[in-house]
Every structure is written in structure tokens, then in C-alpha cells.
Amino acid sequence: MSLPPLQSSPPPAQPFQGLVVVELGHSVAAPFTGLILAEMGAEVIKVEKAEGDDARRWGPPFWEGEGAYFQALNRNKQSVVCNLRDAQEVAALRRLIAERADVVIQNLRPGHVQQLGLDAATLRADKPSLIYCNLGAFGAVGPLKDRPGYDPLMQAFGGIMSTTGEPGRASVRVAPSIVDMGTGMWGAIGILAALHRRHQTGEGQTVDVSLFETAATWVSLLAGQVMASGQQVQKQGSGAPGIAPYKAYATRDGEVVISAGSDALFQRLCGVLGHPEWATQARFIDNPQRVAHQEALYRLIDPLVAARPTAHWVEALEAAGVPCAPVNTVGQMLEHAQTQALDLVHPVPGTGMRFVALPLSLDGQRPRVRSAPPALGAHTQQLLFPELA
């Protein structure tokens, strides 16, 4: 008696192999959701206007013909061009979704997908198993639901910028697109939850995430302090409210961050600095006292740290078990032995490009780049109009 053949399973780092995702996305948030799914094996079909995703032109720098932003966000995808003002092309897109898509993600301007009949309600009525993810600006309801939004606007509106920068100086945007990319992460998490539910029930879901909700979540620890104290959080520079000493210090040749967030760590730090007596002074005896007297504390520590190079402090502090880190440039981070040991930077097959990979491994395997970012419309005929091929 012969046994039935075993069904092959996806490689550990490609759990979404066989999943088909249609990305009606541009800029950062929706493309980052698509990238997460694509990197883990999904077939992601990126739908673009005739001139392409705006991010294709975000530069310099440009990298092998497109903006470096675009290239970093759109590897492992296919590109189709669809004129959303053309009824025939929109019908072809709807047919593609109905026949093949498991997931649709979109971050078009508010109301646009409803006008086109590409919204969740319309598409899920035809295909109840479809998972549909909206990545909006201000959320699905409320007085601002129809407003557009971008990362810097949401860092401002969501309270992040009010806490970022040096006291007494202008507010500063966090340089990485943490709100856009955070929203992309929440989109992927919501899709995972919906996929789990579909596995149990066969039904899809509509997932709603937004830039504002992400920004509010990023300040949730600070919001807890505001609600607990009734006082607004002030700019902290490189520090953190409620913990001291906990910031960056200028060294003789750079900067080092020292995080001595407990009484025991503070005692060790005092020993490294050559002043063990500070740890027993009433004004520095515990964290609440150190926070209350942090200006005096930093006036003592700053000149000591500034007198020696970064490498000296990193070696001395690590030997004493005090958490610290040099303030690396992005280039230094990319070339560091730890980055290389983790296999965090991957080459793109057939190109001279390389990108930072997803920050996760599955059974010890990190998802890898399988294909280069697509040329604009490279897969239009194959996917939207196969009858013409």
C-alpha cells in the first residue's frame, strides 16, 4: 500500500508563501506593510499610477534608477500600472482581486477607494474571505477622518515632537519615519490577526490602522506620565523623563549614552567616575531624588565624561556592568561586527543594492531578498490583462 505524497511546506522564513496581496499603496506606510508580507514569502502585487509611486522620485540619492526610499520599501514585489480613471482597467483590477487576492492593503487619499468601488465593503461583498487593510491618516471615524496626513504632521499632531529636542529650543522631528513605518507594522499585525481568524472561520475582516493612532501609541508611556501627574512632558534631549542619569554625554571625540536606571547601576557608575560617595548623598540616594536633582547631577558628570574618549568610557562602563553605547552614525552601525553577525544587511540578487532586512528570524532563518524592486508596470500585462499576453 503506497502512502500519499507529503505536502511540501514553505521554508521557515517564508511562512506566507502562496498568500497573494494587492497593494494599493504609495509613499511609506502601505508599502512597508507590503514589504513585511513580501519578505516572508507573499506574492505582493503593487498597483501604481502611470507615473508610478511618488517615492520613485524621492531623491537624491537615487539607486539604480529610482529613489533609494522606493528601492528600500519595494523589493520582492511585482508592479502593475492601473489608470484608476479608466473603467476597463479598474474592472481588470477588481477581477484580479476577486480571482487571486487574499489581502488588499491601501493608503489612497480618504474616500478615493469608495469612489472607485475598491473599498472594503464592495470587495468583501463579492469575496467574503478577503482581508482588507486601510492605512489612513487620522483613523476611520472622527472629525478629522477625511484629512490626509504624513509622517512629520503626525509626529507633530500626535505629541511626539513636543517631547523631542533640547529644552528651550525648537521641536525636532525624529529622523526615521517612525509613524509611517510603525503604521505599516500595525497593518501587518492586524492582517496576521485577520488571517488567524479566517483560518478558524473562513471569513475575512477589515483592518483599520492610522498614522495618528500609531503616533499616539508611540507616546503611550509619556501619556501615562501626563495622566498620572497632570503635568506636560518637557523636552528631554537625549534623556528620558522620570529616570536619571539616563542620557547622552559628549566625550573627547564623540558621544556616549549611559543608562544607569537603578540604584545599583548608579553606584557602579559612580565608581567608574571615581566618585563612589555620590551614591550615598541624600540628593542622589534613589531615582526620585536623582530626577529631582538631575541638573546638579549632570553638572557633575558632564565634565568628567568629556575629558576622555568614547572608547575609554565604553570599555570602563562595560567592565563595570553599566549599560552604555557609543552614538554611532548609520554607516558605523551598518559596518559593525554585531550587524554582520546577525546577517542584517542583505544583497539584492542581480543588482548592486543591499538593504537592511526584517528584524526577525524564524527557526534561526532571517527572511531574505528574493527579487529586486520592480520596474514600473513590469507585470501589468501578465497580471491585469493576461488574455493579451
Task: Give the CATH number, domain containing residue 283.
Answer: 3.30.1540.10
Share of the chain above pLDDT 70, in %: 97
pLDDT at 11: 77
C-alpha cell recorded at residue 193: 490577526
In angstroms, what CA-CA distances link 316 with 205, 248, 279, 312? 54, 16, 18, 6
Q: What's the confidence (pLDDT) of residue 373?
A: 97
The three three-digit cell numbers of residue 85, written as one number: 480613471
Overall average pLDDT of the 77-90 stretch: 96
Q: Residue 50 domain-assigned?
A: yes
Confidence of residue 388 (pLDDT cuts 50, 70, 90): confident
| Backbone φ/ψ region at 151: left (φ over 0), alpha (ψ -120 to 50), beta | alpha
pLDDT value, residue 2: 42
- The reported pTM is 0.92
263 catalytic residue (yes or no): no
Same domain, 363 and 320: no
The pLDDT, as a whole number, for residue 8 is: 58
Q: Is the same domain home to 296 and 211?
A: no
pLDDT at residue 10 in the model: 75
223 located within any domain: no
Question: Does some domain include residue 53?
Answer: yes
Least confident residue range of 12-21, 35-44, 175-184, 250-259: 12-21
Indicate the SS3 state at residue 257.
Answer: strand
Task: Identify the pLDDT of residue 389.
Answer: 62
DSSP code for 104: E
Per-residue pLDDT tens digits for 301-325: 999 999 999 999 999 999 999 999 9
Average pLDDT of the residues of the chain: 95
Domain of residue 106 covers 20-218+358-388
pLDDT band, residue 3 (cuts 50/70/90): very low
**In CATH, what number is assigned to the domain containing residue 176?**
3.40.50.10540
- Res 214: pLDDT: 98
Q: How confident is the model at residue 5 (pLDDT cuts 50, 70, 90)?
A: very low
Give the separation between CA 244 and CA 301, rounded to whole angstroms.
Answer: 12
Q: Pick the closest to residue 380 from 132, 171, 102, 93 (CA basis).
A: 93
What share of residues in the chain are helix, strand, coil (percent, to 5)? 45, 15, 45
- My answer on whether 262 and 189 are in the same domain is no
- How would residue 352 be classed by pLDDT, with cut points 50, 70 and 90? very high
Q: Which residues touch 36 (CB under 8 Å, ≥6 apart)?
A: 184, 185, 188, 358
Catalytic residue among 53, 119, 151, 180: 180
Domain check: are 362 and 313 in the same one? no
* Rounded mean pLDDT, 252-279: 97
CA distance 355 to 369: 9
Assigned C-alpha cell, 265? 547601576
Q: What is the pLDDT of residue 1?
A: 38
Judgement on whether residues 305 and 211 belong to the same structural domain of the protein: no
pLDDT of residue 227: 96
Please report whether residue 235 resides in a domain: no
Q: What's the domain count of the chain?
A: 2
Whether 1 maps to a domain, the answer reads no
